Structure 1
């Protein structure tokens, strides 16, 4: 027997190899293995059939993917052969289904590929026929006529095919024979046929052995003992109006659903005519409890639930037994066909998942492998799949029930760093059922974004005399990448072109991590007004990316210079300076308002810090002299008298408008002389200051008077010219279009101060305006950087105020003050 079994196994293996080669040429690997094969049995050379070279199976990790049940086969890592790993029981795997095919998925990595292997488990004759019971008791009336038929329960065989084709034999008997009828190839009806009339008095009990043999080689058998009791009297058994009742019910039928009504009649009279119904047996064995029958009416109802996926056809043997003595029975069968209902939703399984996906992954990259199945049949088992939301992934069918999740669009981690993908499946039933499986696909970062500053140009205002190490501003560049790709470091870049660029490393420094801008040394407005440089932000990616921003640093003036008057004072109207004291002459009887001298001070600051005012500190009270608040002119407050004495000593204080204010003092000594002496002193002082010679010392009173008149005419003409110029500039500023003023980049504007503290501004050109003699002086610096248009959204915290507001304020006040002050100066002269 063992030799025969070995020869059959060799033949089967050869057939399997031929089938596998044929299946591979058709695009799918198919193998066949008999059930109950020993562990370690080689099913097929899987690696070779898949086209892998020797040793490539282990290098590329050839492996099987289990799908919901314990795999009974495995792949040898060294040889790549498909081996039996545990006991294969075809009856346990597939039941009565034929053929019994297992679908396996084989994965190969580097690169990732999936192959589908179909393994057919063939049946061997390892199950003997089994009867429902080892003994069957029958009661047959002795009045039964020869040819009477009595149904018997057949045996069942768990095998399939020829191994499950049963034949029956009955032990020799002169009274009984066996009649076997095949309703189809799988079901046979057995009847015990009475061949000869019975005589209870001769043989009250007949014992027969019923044997069932299958078609396997070798054949296996099963037996049951028939114990036949011969009864007396009642010689008419109930008869059904149909021998077979056929019924169809959906598997969704509820408990208590009406199945069928059987009907039988008995020709006897009295108690022999009364009978009751019962369920004798069921096929498959063990499902008898799913049904109940009313013993009187013959109504059959469900007591359990039907499942099309487990049993598609139920066969019940119904018996009607009368109350005669002995009782007689009639028999019929009820065949219940279970109709499929869409009660199983599709199931989605993830067999492989490759995450995270780099954001620069190419379109078509396989992200995951999935398997989809539905236990229903027909349209209820046809499944369609899709991805929700569809973008940027899609499904591609690779085999029946197998799909690949692939990349359909380019990824951007800065826009979406993780996707919640749902694979949905829907069958073709009505109503359709759906299954789903959620996937979380993370996107890994790639350095594809350069740091970007919040502003292209930063305008920074810093006061002079700031402390070394003081924070001037904070710059920030955004890099949407993550980890090292988004870690930004800052540095001051000395590069750049154009005359406006100055080296900045000696003035400022930027913190590499925080972007804080520090001052390396105190700033001095009188030395540096504008510093323009570039800050560069570089990320830590590979390769690194960078972004730039321009910084315009404007130094604001502070009142750190006091006006100097003692050394800078200029004599006027005949005044001279000797040993740090200013000397001037005034004539007795000079009327009120006559200018005696003019004090002029210089302040190195600018703007308000250089706007000077003059005060007479001593003598206080009702002295004979006064000083102009902004002009510095010393004039008589009343007519001079002899009681005022020969000499007046005046202490004049010069203050600026800074916070806090700074001051300087000058001493003026005024000698009171006769009118002729005063004229000679005035002529001598004028000649000395203009030509630096002593030739004018001998001029008379007539020459001094003529020189004075000439200077008065020149002063009146100068004041008138300045007044007209102020009016023209005021009109131009009022009617000039504002858009043109604010559209240009606007270089630094220098403004000069006068004795009365007036100033002007310009957007495109630098102008100096003075209303008194002397060189123009820088008074106020106004800048108009070329700001980029602001980005949409809320304004940044460090947004500077609009330059137009400052310019409008300065322009309005200064141009209104100019004509008024000029007019006052002309009247005073």
Structure 2
């Protein structure tokens, strides 16, 4: 019956809490409040948490709906399927809050995506589950028979662990003729309970009285506690010591030094001699907390501190005192000492950072919640009022969400490339004097987003490679860097496809996707392609990807891979030429014409006349650079009637390539009828001679003078270029060099460029373009200056010209 009645009371209180829920919500300014009776069974319904917070049941699991608590978080739990808050473990209000008038569990309800936090307060209601308890089950009292009626004898009242009505105690004494009960005036002062003598005692008539004292609380149903009082009548002193006050009240700081005097009690006894000598003491039973905190001088009545007081552990002490005389039958006087412990600011705040949303994307909007911060201080009043702050110049701020709760939110835009993370230090400072403070730090990492495109080290690369390169030869390496991180900074390279004549660019060159190394896929031919311009793209692996392009100019440097080709009539037959013996010295017989498909020095031709038979001195000579065959002296009868002339044509390449032409000359008497037969012994035969062979001597002279000027300038540029050459394979901006173009029978035209010259075979080189007579129009060409010997060779050539 008793158990069913208790359950009925709990159900009524729970129903009442539901009816008052809207009012509680409004009073809490957004804080959700529930009530649950203590000792509720596991699974007891507390409230529809998700519904009251306005959350859909379907989004509880995806949004990581959960409940967190700083204190005793295992007592309550939430069902993430239906959003109902229920009792998870036994809730004992007395264990949780002691005798505090208010007892609540503070919960933090957290959902993510976006992060939100709600504060829920669950009040634990007291039930009458604790009966009154007396300090002793049997109490012995000695009373002198001379005690007059209305004499009071203090009794130790009972204590009830419950609160409110459940702890409101009433006392009842079994009916008797001699004693009555004087109940306490203040519920908190259980020591003010007194036993009152109603009539004069007669020890000879009754020596002992056995009384039963019952304490009943105000709960429903009532619970009781009893103590057996054994009153012994003594025939001794008829005056008991008497204190100045029945209740003494003192205050002491919790940081009082050991041995600090808090009060000196004073009691008087009108008796004389030993019957008037007083001994002070704590009235038994004495609590262990009083014995640890205070010490009493039994003869002077001085009470001093003993050990360290702690406001946070115990804020007040109620100490029953007694003064006993030294009579044969001692008599005692009683009073109560109330000691209030005053708080000092001896506790620093405590800071806790929970529910972190890390790392934070650098494109997170302003106002994004990063973390939850909670603070607490065990002190009271201003000493326990805490404020929080952040260091200056951080892109974060603290927003107060509830009492002693803050949210760390983003206050300005983030940039991971400028700052990859922040050490956020939260400082909590109380209002004491002097104030105390504490800190908690958290590393806020900034997550990268793909907001930077790759950037090449150079916007334009100028490189060179010699023709006839091996397939797969390395040309140069391009490099691009991305300021982002991880996948967003992983760069891959590719060619920007285009057509080069009839061929695709990808058939000529390739670029390695990871390293950026550019390779020639096939041998290149300077005569076919002197300059190749294309673009290389760099793209990161972000989503969406970002990219950029760089231009690359590839100069194909000439190699001496073409032998001189003789120009003349087609066919391999011999033609003779008749020359009158009367021809004088310097007579021009004919001109040997040849061209070289190469460029520069490789196409600069020289003509030599092969020596005749042993012992014979030929009357002919050939111009070194003109190819004109003329007589060196007047002919005479000693000269053979048939002359066989072999002309060697040699270019200036390394190694030099040659071709030969054979002329058959017949010496005749009379008028000349010149005929010339040429037979080419070279590998290839060119086209018909250019009409520019007229006035060849004049052209040679002009070329010689102009060549001296051009070579002087080129030597100066080549020396600077060679001196600034870097290590093999290096790609770097070069110094100004002359890039010249040539045409048949024209002067070389040059202009300065300042490219970043890269060579796959060595350091940057200076280039020389020379005039080449008898040459069909070609593109620009470059020669490399590799050694000081090249410079000396150029000087010798210029002197010979």
TM-score (norm 2): 0.76
- Partner SS, residue 25 of structure 2: helix
Q: Distance in 1 between matches of 2:562 and 2:22?
A: 103
RMSD: 5.1
**Deviates further, 639-648 or 478-487:** 639-648
Question: Is contact 1:182–1:188 with CA below 8 Å preserved after alignment?
Answer: no
The 2-side partners of 1:180 and 1:269 are apart by 33
| Whole-angstrom distance in 1 between the partners of 2:710 and 2:63 | 90
Gaps of 5+ in 2: 678-693, 717-732, 754-767
Alignment partner of 1:603 is 2:596: yes
**Mapped pair 1:763 → 2:752:** yes
The whole-number CA distance in structure 2 between the counterparts of 1:432 and 1:379 is 10
Distance 2:441 2:533 in 1: 56
Q: 1:613 to 1:369 in 2, by over 3 A?
A: same
Taking the aligned partners of 2:587 and 2:779, their CA distance within structure 1 comes to 30
Partners of 1:554 and 1:280 in 2: CA distance: 111
1:228–1:770 Cα change, 3 Å: closer
In the other structure, the counterpart of 1:67 is 70
Give the secondary structure class of the aligned counterpart of 2:18: helix
SS at 2:130 equivalent: coil
Aligned-pair distance for 1:626?
8.4
Match of 1:92 among 72, 92, 95: 95
2:505 aligns with 504
Q: How does 1:188-199 map to 2 (within 5 A)?
A: 189-199=192-202
Q: Secondary structure at the match of 1:215?
A: coil
Give the C-alpha shift of residue 530 in structure 1. 0.3
Aligned residue pairs total 745
> Residue 582 of structure 2 contacts residue 634 of structure 2 at CA under 8 Å; is this kept in 1?
no
1:574 — aligned with what?
none
The Cα of 1:531 is off from its aligned counterpart by 0.7
Counterpart secondary structure, 2:506 = coil
The equivalent residue for 2:185 is: 182
Matched, 1:323 2:326: yes
Q: C-alpha deviations, 1:103-153, integer Å up to 9, x for none?
A: 233345666543333222222222222122222333444455555444332
| Bigger mean CA offset, 744-753 vs 516-525 | 744-753
The aligned counterpart of 2:497 is 494
Equivalent positions of 1:609-624 (< 5 A) are 609-612=602-605, 618=611
**Shift in Å, 1:528:** 0.8
SS in 2 for 1:212: strand
The alignment partner of 2:507 has SS state of coil
User: 2: CA distance between counterparts of 1:778 and 1:333?
Assistant: 122
SS in 2 for 1:762: strand
Q: Retained in 1: the 8 A contact 2:316–2:340?
A: yes
> So what's the TM-score if we normalise by structure 1?
0.74
Bigger Cα displacement from structure 2, 18-27 vs 501-510: 501-510
Which secondary structure state, in structure 1, belongs to the residue aligned with residue 378 of structure 2?
A: coil
1:135 is the counterpart of 2:157: no
Could you tell me how far apart the structure 1 residues matched to 2:769 and 2:74 are?
Answer: 99
SS, match of residue 355 in structure 2: strand
Query: 2 CA distance for matches of 1:370 and 1:354?
Result: 12
1:584 & 1:413 partners in 2: Cα distance?
A: 91
Q: Aligned to 2:215, what secondary structure does the other structure show? A: strand
Q: Answer yes or no: is 1:302 the counterpart of 2:341.
A: no
Residue pairs, 1:450-469, within 5 angstroms:
450-469=453-472
1:625-647 Cα distance to aligned partner (Å, 9 max, x none)? 98887677889999999999999
**Does the aligned pair in 2 maintain the 1:753–1:759 contact within 8 Å?**
no
Shift of the alpha carbon at 1:523? 0.5
Q: Against the structure 1 CA distance between its residues 769 and 434, is the aligned structure 2 distance closer, same or farther, given a 3 Å change threshold?
A: closer
Deviates more, 1:155-164 or 1:201-210: 201-210
CA distance in 1, matches of 2:311, 2:561: 101
**Which residue number corresponds to residue 317 of structure 2?**
314
> Is the deviation greater in 487-496 or in 594-603?
594-603
Distance in 1, Cα, partners of 2:707 & 2:474: 44
The secondary structure found in structure 1 opposite 2:192 is: strand
Tell me the distance in 2 between the aligned counterparts of 1:291 and 1:580: 143
Aligned mates of 1:637, 1:425 — CA distance in 2: 112
What's the offset of the Cα at 1:655? 4.8
Residue equivalent to 2:533: 532
Offset from partner CA, 1:160-195 (integer Å, 9 cap, x none): 112222233334454444434435766561234444
Aligned: 1:658 with 2:653? yes
Partner of 1:781: 781
Q: Deviations over 1:607-628 (max 9, x none)?
A: 2333455677748999899888
Partners of 2:773 and 2:316 in 1: CA distance: 124
Asked if the contact 1:380–1:428 (Cα under 8 Å) also holds between the matched residues in 2, the reply is: yes
The alpha carbon displacement at 1:213 in A equals 2.5
The alpha-carbon distance between structure 1 residues 656 and 753, as it changes in their structure 2 partners (threshold 3 A), is: farther
Q: Which has the higher contact order (CA 8 A, sep 6+)?
A: 2
CA distance in 1, matches of 2:734, 2:628: 43
Partner of residue 384 from structure 1, selected from 376, 383, 387:
387
Corresponding position: 1:31 with 2:24: no
Rounded Cα–Cα distance in structure 1 between residues aligned with 2:578 and 2:506? 52
Is 1:165 the counterpart of 2:154? The answer is no
Query: Is the Cα contact below 8 Å between 2:157 and 2:193 reproduced in 1?
Result: yes
Question: Which secondary structure does the structure 1 equivalent of 2:312 belong to?
Answer: coil
Alpha-carbon distance in 2 for matches of 1:772, 1:461: 23
Q: Are the aligned partners of 1:58 and 1:80 in contact in 2 as well (CA < 8 Å)?
A: no
In 1: Cα distance, 2:639 partner to 2:345 partner: 128
* Mapping for residues 718-797 of structure 1, pairs under 5 Å: 719=701, 723=705, 749-751=740-742, 761-763=750-752, 781=781
- Tell me how far 1:434 sits from its aligned partner: 3.5
Q: How much has 1:750 moved relative to structure 2?
A: 0.8
In the TM superposition, what is the alpha-carbon distance from 1:329 to its structure 2 partner? 3.3
Q: 1:170 to 1:777 in 2, by over 3 A?
A: same
Q: Whole-Å Cα distance in 1 between the matches of residues 510 and 11 of structure 2?
A: 87
CA-to-aligned-CA distance 1:669-727 (integer Å, 9 cap, x gap) = 99999xx98xx76xx66x999xxxxxxxxxxxxxxxxxxxxx99x95798479859987
Q: Which residue of 2 aligns with 1:17?
A: 18
Look up the match of 1:787: none
Distance of aligned partners of 1:549 and 1:583 in 2 relative to their CA distance in 1, 3 Å threshold: farther
**Counterparts of 1:563-712 in structure 2 under 5 Å?**
563=564, 567=566, 579=574, 602-612=595-605, 618=611, 655-664=650-659
**1:792 — aligned with what?**
none
Distance 1:500 1:762 in 2: 27
Call closer, same or farther: CA 1:720–1:747 in 2, change over 3 Å.
closer
* Counterpart in the other structure of 1:794: none
Note closer, same or farther for the CA distance 1:665–1:41 as it changes in structure 2 (3 Å cut).
same
Map Cα deviations across residues 382-440 of structure 1 (whole Å, 9 max, x no partner): 22234557643333222223333333333445555555544443322334334444445
Sort the Cα spacing of 1:475 and 1:769 in 2 relative to 1 into closer, same or farther, 3 A. closer
SS of corresponding position for 2:15: helix
Cα offset, 1:520, TM superposition: 2.0
Tell me the CA shift for residue 534 of structure 1.
1.8
Aligned to 2:720: none
Q: Which residue of 1 aligns with 2:555?
A: 554
Distance across 2 between alignment mates of 1:717 and 1:98: 121
1:750–1:782 CA contact under 8 A, matched in 2? no
Aligned counterpart, 1:126: 129
